[in-house]
Chains A and B, each alone.
Chain A
């Protein structure tokens, strides 16, 4: 019986301690609540509403009918029209559209002959996006007003599909750059989220704040070494990806360095902000996890951004990993230049500066 009493004493103590740790207690309630709502809506393996462009070289009535029927599948969302395939390819490079439907000059003759009517140019750097567009390959069409639905179905395929950047649809091509995003998010945020809290827990901070050091100096000094650590991590992942998984690198080293440094900055400063809010290393780790899971699930790493509902996309846009996922797929797999990807780079830079500013402001040199 005394054993039960001792177990009871431990249980009682744990419950009291847990209820006094506000952040842990909040996590207990918030994590299931938020994650369920967020991911229940956001995670949808059915890909819908991919932004695509139309290149109509025929200018025919049939082209407009085809475009409309493609749109009503809901797999794609026509967001632009381009005069030439070259223009459409440029839009693919910047990530503006994920695919373009090219309808040729001789569309009317092809329809009359019952041939393939057009070609999809697809950004294959996200395999789920590529797969979704491949389902349109043999979609039946209805080109005559009087004909029954799906009457037009060429023997070969309704559309040709050209998968750019990853023609073999190998998942590792998609996974390796994606892993850079996840690994950097995890390690960079964790490193700095613990950094300040550890000094506070060990008592170092009380001494440090009596010195003339300025908060910004402390912050920048704490971050800088980890930028190198992050770049080394990226080098290891890319090197292995190239050596073992044979993932081709299309971009320039310069672009890769620029975007990765921007993302490392964003992750580190986010960690720093966590560090100013957490009271113990345990809390800092919990908060990092709270950031990490959405970064994995909502950044486009596991599920395409384009397929998420609007609300989830707004949340996704607020996560640095989303922007870096776009950037690294652009640079790594499509060979996009930094100029083509400027909006996401500016976003990451802005995020870094804002986080650094807030963290510096929150960290004042008093014990009040």
Chain B
């Protein structure tokens, strides 16, 4: 169970990172806003993968402690934490030489949803629901 959860966390986190990089490229091409010095490729991949792995540990712990209710509690906690995390980009203070800081949340807020989205999409492939 733990290994499968960890694998799911790693794969969904990495895919969320790739989706974030694609989104960053589209954002940059369409709006011209360049935040590549702040949201670096390595930073996006590491944060997304770490988020996925952390979710895996949380999923395993909650299922261990709460047995049958672990799944639903995990889903709620993961979704709530994802929403709360969007406060970060709004509160971020960027270096003063970065142009148009008001466009920064538009880049990073959607990225915060990608790990949860990838997790919920891929989960049936890694962990089968108990009948």
Partners in one complex: no
A-to-B contact residues, CB < 8 Å: none
Which residues from chain B sit less than 8 Å from chain A, CB to CB? Answer: none
